Structure 1
């Protein structure tokens, strides 16, 4: 039977004009020329599967984990096909021939059982510049620039006239994935990142700042500073900073964690599953007797590989992590459901209950639509189980889905590209990553029309809220973890300066009068800052409100943190290439940032990233 299937595969390959070889490589060599395109179909020998009596993915171990019925096949599921538009490139007849060949091959493969064998099909005579994109079959993307990574399209926030829109409302964001992703593009792949990968607020929030911590019952303190705008001297720049109360690791509440780990075939890469294991081990090292860990994995199916285990029993948890191997397609939806089930069954009232999802990319089996996944996660979050998302690797990384998923599931989103980043997120900022101190945090600014003609929010484009959402406790918003810093900049056009916004002439309203200026507008206040938030276990929000005056400081008089953060914002704006940011340049950013690095190694690294971008933009 095995021989006949090989013959059939050889025949299919012959139809495609390909030369088949049986090998051990799981995916094409990244350095291969366009004339040598490799297609990899995940599989391993059936005999080896039988010998792995407790398959690497299905590890009952010492804790008698209960695998689901499909768990034994997780590592052996054939990876799904990619859409035709993503599977090939070329033009004219080349596309038609390639598509027909690929579809014919896939139809043959779909009729076969999931045999445990890898087949590498070389295509040595492809036309120049033509490379069929079959990474979806193997569960692999092609890397930056090859269309595998998915980012949401974001339009830069425009200037808005205060006369027309005096309120600005948005959800806070503590994610840092965009910064690490950009670093990976610039440093590792020597490419400028796609504009969709650049979320300015995540670049700014990657760093910590010396903000005042709360001294009252509130879980965070608000810090506001104003100075001249460094990229437009006629404008003002207002920085809003929020600092969450800090909680030492020893003072953390009891923690119920579920590691939800992607072990699909595409994770078989040194920057993926091995790095994931290292990162989770770093986190386990920080846990104690009041903490619990369960491990759920998913590929073609999902299963429990370690029941909830005391954080003191590190050897058992480490052993479970060591035994994980990659193989199969990606049924993330099923994994999320099982992980939430495990977290709910071991729920700690008054403690931290969190699922940590670690994956390299898209879900392509089971529940795959972003809307369905987000709806499921948002519903589960109502039970008090929050979500952290950790992204790994490049090529088929669905950044847009991960960001939305974490945002709707009361969570945070980081991208782990190095062991140093894993230490930052899972060790140095462990309390912030795991312990939520406030949820559904919203900011609303009301600008004084006698002081401000126009404004624009720098970043947070996909975190904008309707003004009415601010007082609606049913509307979801962002979460703040212990010790987290959140920063937002507004570029403000003073009332004395010509506004860049041209207000369209409309007829006077028949049934309403225009807004009247109130006595409060005659004060020295530039704006009013309002913040709404909920305690992690409550459904009713609290309000913080404070009037803000402009100190009139020049940019050089601003604090070092203000100047550094402004430099990071300028860098993000430059990468986004907005028309209104044309005056920003890398030389100015380098000079500005270098004066405010100090002994912070992360700020020092940022200078290297700026230099890498400068080299690529020459």
Structure 2
């Protein structure tokens, strides 16, 4: 009996050792998998952690955060509106891709402020110590009769290239399996070469890639060593799942190790946004990137591809990370964003730029902000320097439109009035000819305290016939966006009228971007017949 017991115990010990050995081999194999490029392990994914409050729209596996159109507000009840500027233009080029490919345009992909801000406007350079000028224009709304539009435009100061500070740029490149398409990694490499051609010998470049696990493939290197940098680009291949969170951590670490005090320190993330290993939910990415922005390192997000494009994650990263966001659908777009507009998109001249406007109830019965749905701020956030807002680059223009229902005007869109017992109606007090007072706050790129200045806007009765070409063109772009979103707050959705207004606003179009918009509009109109 003793012999049998000893045999049983021995077998149990051997089985236990074998199991332990198998676990060690499995762990070792898993480590090896995570260290490989993972081209042959494309189907290995950890579960995607999603926030309970996240809502997404999926079209062909593309994801867009839902937007609810800004409503009209009664001036007597809420005379103040506050928002963060937005210099992103990804929405326009993404919509252009959808229309050109014959896809249905997802209305949640339509962010009207990004469509309007894709185009430059003829605003004057600042003439004071502030880094941007303020420009306003008030005229008729073409989509709702008897309504008006107020255009507010900012023009960032043009800083000559030789006066720009040295750059410390880290390229964070997605080389996962989802990037293995012609309009993704190959286009990405050509795009970054465009950016590289803008850099000077005093600028530095590092490259971090991520696919399964992240790694540095080029330490911080002088931009004068272009051949060395180009060789690193050319060696990039796609394969594996996407350890986006780990890549972000490593890119910021490399940027911080080579931080240039008083310089332009920036991570340039290039991806289709398809994070599916590690930190992947929008909520988790938001928390991560909010922490990273405290380092003083800015962020530029470049989106590529279609079919599984994750717009919601890209926008979150740019919005929360002191950054900007572009969608690169072709090399022409890369040349625009990273070539012609390089300084504006890479060099920040003012950060946390906020706008707050107070409307005069004598002239404004009701108003609404066109677009900027995910950039609205609480009124008390305007003076709170802890609250993040948008960044303005060298030479950037930013435009916002408010639709206004003037006093004594009948409109089916006028909100029902709430009778307030304790609030006085200030309309009887006059306030002269002020339509509104607009305030701006911003910080210097390396500053922590906001600077404020104020501009008063006078009431006028000019019709759209006498409006500037910029007013007409910006309005036509916003109008097209409202049609694409199937807005319930506009009556006139005639695309021919939109096209005619765009043509009136074409003006000088040396780069051809306005002409391209008109052709895009015509192409879309042809599909609606």
- Write the distance in 1 (CA, Å) between the matches of 2:288 and 2:178: 24
Mean CA deviation greater in 553-562 or 600-609: 600-609
Paired residue secondary structure (2:424): coil
Residue deviations 1:225-264 (CA, integer Å, cap 9, x gap): 1111112231111100001001222322100000000000
Report what 1:599 is aligned to: 509
1:502 and 2:415 correspond? yes
What residue in structure 2 maps to residue 450 of structure 1? 362
Match of 2:84 among 171, 179, 198: 171
Whole-Å separation in 1 of the counterparts to 2:392 and 2:429: 32
Are 2:43 and 1:79 aligned? yes
Matched with 1:266 is 178
Label 1:562 to 1:576 Cα distance change in 2 as closer, same or farther (>3 A). Answer: same
- Report how many aligned residue pairs link the two structures: 487
CA distance in 2 between partners of 1:546 and 1:79 (Å): 57
Q: Distance in 2 between matches of 1:474 and 1:354?
A: 21
TM-score normalised according to structure 1 size? 0.76
Q: How does 1:210-221 map to 2 (within 5 A)?
A: 210-221=122-133
Give the CA RMSD over aligned residues: 1.9
Residue in structure 2 matched with residue 397 of structure 1 by the alignment: 309
Per-residue CA deviation, residues 346-400 of structure 1 (Å, 9 max, x unaligned), is: 0000000000000012210011111111111111111110100000001111111
Equivalent residue number for residue 577 of structure 1: 486
Q: Is the 8 A contact 1:529 1:547 kept in 2?
A: yes
Matched, 1:539 2:452: no
TM-score (norm 2): 0.89
2:516 corresponds to 1:614: no
Distance 1:291 1:71, change over 3 A: farther
Between stretches 403-412 and 516-525, larger displacement belongs to 516-525
- Contact 1:76–1:327 at 8 Å: present in 2 too? yes
**What's the offset of the Cα at 1:550?**
2.4
What residue is the counterpart of 1:550 in the other structure? Answer: 459
Q: 1:147 is matched with which residue: 60, 82, 98?
A: 60
- Tell me the CA shift for residue 470 of structure 1: 0.7
Structure 2 stretches lacking a partner, 5+ long: 1-31, 49-56
Structure 1 residue 81 displacement after superposition: 5.3
Structure 1 unaligned spans of 5+: 1-67, 85-143
- 1:77-98 CA-partner distances (Å, limit 9, x unpaired): 43345989xxxxxxxxxxxxxx
Summarize the Cα distance change of 1:302–1:613 in structure 2 as closer, same or farther, 3 Å threshold: same
Aligned counterparts of 1:77 and 1:451: Cα–Cα separation in 2: 64
Q: Which has the higher contact order (CA 8 A, sep 6+)?
A: 2
Match of 1:326 in 2: 238
Determine which of 307, 311, 315 is the counterpart of 2:223: 311
| Alignment of 1:490 onto 2:454 | no
Structure 1 equivalent of residue 201 of structure 2 = 289
Q: Distance in 2 between matches of 1:193 and 1:179?
A: 11
- Equivalent position of 1:586 in the other structure: 495
Q: Give the Å deviation of 1:265.
A: 0.7
| Separation in structure 2 between the aligned mates of residue 446 and residue 427 of structure 1, nearest angstrom | 38
Partner of residue 329 from structure 2, selected from 417, 421, 425: 417
Partner residue of 2:135 out of 210, 223, 230? 223
Q: 1:228, 1:504 → 2: CA distance? A: 24
Q: What pairs with 1:338-487 in structure 2 (closer than 5 Å)?
A: 338-487=250-399
- The Cα offsets for residues 165-211 of structure 1, whole Å up to 9 and x where unpaired, read as 11111111000000000000001x21231000000000000000000
